[in-house]
Structure 1
Amino acid sequence: MQALRQYIHPGWFLVAPFLLVVVAFYLGPLVNILWLSVTDPEPGLGNYEALFTSDSLARILWTTLRTCLITTIFSVAIGYCLAYAMVHAHNRNQNIMLTLLLISFWISVLVRTFAWLMLLGHNGLVNNAFETIGLIDRPIRFMRNELGVLIGMIHYMVPYAVLPLMVNMQTLDPRVMAASRNLGASGPQTFWRIYLPLTLPGLVASSLLVFILSLGFYVTPAILGGGKVLMVAEYISVQLLVTLRWGTAAMLGTLMLLGVLALLWVMSRFMRFSAVFGGGATR
């Protein structure tokens, strides 16, 4: 026992009960999902083989990846502009902008989605306004297609894109940009050659965060897509609640989990996680 105490820090005995709870209530269900993916409806890799033989699964995966990629590109681009404006704003304006940004996290995704449904519907505010001022003759189909899903997802993801970028930008030394200008570089040259490369860790973190969160979107595609834009999360729900194909649902859940872990691993090959989120930087 004395020898064991030499190698184990006493703090681990305090952490052990909570670690057991995590293992039982978190890792346990994950292992169960992995088990179902290779045993239901029969033992084997039949569920995973469907990824290469089923046209419907391939179409759903491609729709999910395409939608998440477009959402990430636009969310990060908009978030970069907002983060840049917030970091370089006056302290009072910066606090107001940050407060408005944080308030957006308190609004439910369901409320946001129904708000867009009212705005962009066939008889929504946007179409009625366009018809009133004579820009269109017939309502634009914003809903029940990929356009509506993208609008709703980008709107929801922009605040998540802003935070890592803002943290990263706040760690930059403004004297570096001032030195660039003093040496004769123009504003655009300073931005493209100095500022943008220095904010690359924030861009990577923001893109990764938005893409991972977008993979699990369910409410927005289900409502704004109207069943015509089927993504992986909604398809898993259908397999669980309608067709009762738990093995297929478990396989897709496992695929998403492994995909997220792979993204984190790839990012760790290029940079430290602490650097991505602004840790260890100096002003």
Structure 2
Amino acid sequence: MAANPTSVATTEGRWKQRLTGLPFVLPLLVFLSLFFYWPLAEVLVLSVTEPEVGFSNFTKLLSSAVIHKILITTFMVTFETTLASVAIGYLMAFAIVHSKSRTIQRSLLLCVIVPFWMSIIIRAFAWLILLRGNGIVNETLIGLGLIDSPLQLSRNELGVVIGVIHIMVPIATLTILGNLRSISPSYVKAARSLGASPWFAFRAVYFPISLPGLIGASMITFMFTLGFFITPALLGGGRVIMVAEYISVKTLVLAQLGEPAMLAVVLMASVFLLLMTLGRALNLRELLSGGSK
């Protein structure tokens, strides 16, 4: 059976296009291989070769109560931070998009962007000063007569969550903001013209369209928070230890590489599992592109 000339020409054309673009893609592939994939592979190898060849490090993952506590703390802080940051970010983005005053829009956007100009260490230390026993927050509450004695707002999980939320809210807000700006106001107007109440129009029309931005912000916040180190170390005061701090102590203080590498593999696997799960439930290409069409 003779091949279709049109089909052969089309296939050849596609291969020519791919080969034409290869010189532009090849440097990127080399860069990623050297500075991204190779280090990840080294971490994976360390997890099964240090201090001895085998899966002894992963056995600790199943048997060590300390590691269990650290992982539970890490995922709890990450979940709480993601939930709060995305909720606040959605409200902030909604207010910026739908504010009728340009001055208010710019003021709100400035409140979101300004924290990016400050160091994470400065922000974490500022929260430590604000939340301590004789800090501004406790002194104000006592002065108002709302409490009789200072609340324990720092050196615990609450303090860590507050500090991390402050860092992640701007990221969540800007992620959601791009999605909300792409939603045409005509959708809600159409629903309102058909007799829908403002709340029903938001719940049935606007919110579902904004879900890609919401889920995208949740993914970014979750993945970033998993690796937080400085803020939990300062605001946790040694009482709230997350995986990144534990890895740092094991690597830099105790000079142990196998167990930290195993925990790094667990975090990477958690991120990949999240992406695979979302990939099955959602169109990730549409999700990461940011908006409605």
Q: Give the TM-score taking structure 1 as reference length.
A: 0.92
Q: Superposition pairs for residues 1-283 of structure 1, below 5 Å?
A: 6=16, 9-90=19-100, 91-279=102-290, 281-282=292-293
Secondary structure at the aligned position of 2:19 is classed as coil
Distance 2:282 2:146 in 1: 49
Secondary structure at the aligned position of 1:199 is classed as helix
Return the offset for 1:273. 3.1
The aligned amino acid for 2:81 is: T
Distance 1:273 1:135 in 2: 47
Return the offset for 1:15. 3.9
Contact 2:178 2:291 in 1 (8 A): no
Distance 1:258 1:214 in 2: 15
Distance 2:215 2:291 in 1: 17
The aligned amino acid for 2:109 is: L
Secondary structure at the aligned position of 1:250 is classed as helix
Contact 2:180 2:291 in 1 (8 A): no
Distance 2:290 2:232 in 1: 35
Return the offset for 1:270. 2.5
Return the offset for 1:245. 2.0
Distance 2:110 2:275 in 1: 30
Return the offset for 1:172. 1.4
Q: How many residues align?
A: 278
Return the offset for 1:279. 4.4
Contact 1:109 1:156 in 2 (8 A): yes
The aligned amino acid for 2:91 is: C
Structure 1 residues 32 and 133, CA, compared in 2 at 3 Å: closer, same or farther? same
Contact 1:119 1:126 in 2 (8 A): yes
Secondary structure at the aligned position of 2:32 is classed as helix
Distance 1:11 1:189 in 2: 49
Q: Report which stretch shifted further, 177-186 or 12-21.
A: 12-21
The aligned amino acid for 2:259 is: T
Contact 1:167 1:278 in 2 (8 A): no
Structure 1 residues 128 and 29, CA, compared in 2 at 3 Å: closer, same or farther? same
Identity of aligned residues (%): 42
Q: Report which stretch shifted further, 185-194 or 13-22.
A: 13-22
Distance 2:291 2:169 in 1: 25
Distance 2:217 2:24 in 1: 35
Q: Which residues of structure 2 form unaligned runs of 5+?
A: 1-14
